[in-house]
A = this chain, B = another copy of it.
Amino acid sequence: MAIERISESEYAVIEPLWDKAPLTAVEIADRVAKDNDWTLQTVKTLLSRLVAKGAVAFETQGRRYLYRPLIARNDHAVAESRRLLDRLFAGRVSPLVAQLAKRDALSEDDIAEIEALLKELRA
């Protein structure tokens, strides 16, 4: 039941499905076109790879193929984040935050948000 690893390009293709599903390949390609310059063929290839990986399913409605995601955006994001934390920060979050802080990669707003978050957690 582990989440199948999906590539960056595949991610770009599943993303529209997280905003709205189901969608056809053409609809997905249209939405993806804002950020990427792929042909429809490329989007279809990525879709079929996502289907092969069990990350996306389709149902055929007559001639239309309607795609929908099988994994949740947040599940993917968390899985990837854990991978990174494990690899680079011994699995812990605070060293990551510390490094980013040291590089001035944390705005005042970021800090305030995280603090509010944590305060709520221990409430």
A interface vs B, CB < 8 Å? 8, 11, 74, 76-78, 80-82, 84, 87-89, 92-94, 96-103, 105-106, 110-111, 113-115, 117-118, 121-122
Contacts and interface: CB of A to CB of B under 8 A. Distances in A.
A13 to B, nearest CB: 14
- Leading 4 A-B pairs by shortest Cβ distance: A94-B113, A77-B88, A94-B114, A84-B84
Of A74, A81, A111, the most chain B CB neighbours within 10 A belong to A81
Copies in the complex: 2
Contacts of A84: 80-81, 84
Contacts of A122: 111
B110 A94 contact: yes
A112 B77 CA distance: 24
Given A87-B11, A88-B80, A117 B99 contact: no
A11 to B, nearest CB: 7
Contact of A99 (B74, B87, B88, B111): B74
A100 to B, nearest CB: 6
A79 B123 CA distance: 34
